[in-house]
Amino acid sequence: MKQRSVAAALPLALMTMLALSDAQAALLTNVGQVVSLRAEGKYAFVGMAQSVGTCGNRYWLDIETASGKSAYATAMLAFTTEANVYVRADDNPGTRVFEECFLHDIFVAK
């Protein structure tokens, strides 16, 4: 009986591990000044002073969502005040728009 329950639990444990590994985002961090802003339809692009990893130095966000609007407002504030920001971007190729990485979050550095 115990052997049968272990055999049934093993595939479930493997599927759970695989699902968790797919759910994790490959986030990259970039620190610096915002040097360019651009809005194209529902997408906005935030350009940073330096590039990181395969993302380059531009990141996209959806400005039709509340979180996207907030992130774009933060980027505009940082751009106008020349403040440094921390940006986390999703490096997953499936989330790219115009070959740019998705801007996961942004906040102003002290």
Q: Who contacts 104 (Cβ-Cβ below 8 Å, separation ≥6)?
A: 25, 27, 88, 89, 90
Domains of the chain: 25-108 (2.40.50.140)
**Per-residue confidence at 39, pLDDT binned at 50, 70, 90?**
very high
SS3 state at 20 = helix
**Which DSSP state fits 54?**
G
Q: pTM for the full model?
A: 0.72
Q: Mean pLDDT for the chain?
A: 82
In order of 3, 6, 52, 58, the CA distances from 94 in angstroms are 41, 36, 18, 16
Note the helical H segments in the chain.
2-23, 66-81
**Per-residue confidence at 9, pLDDT binned at 50, 70, 90?**
low
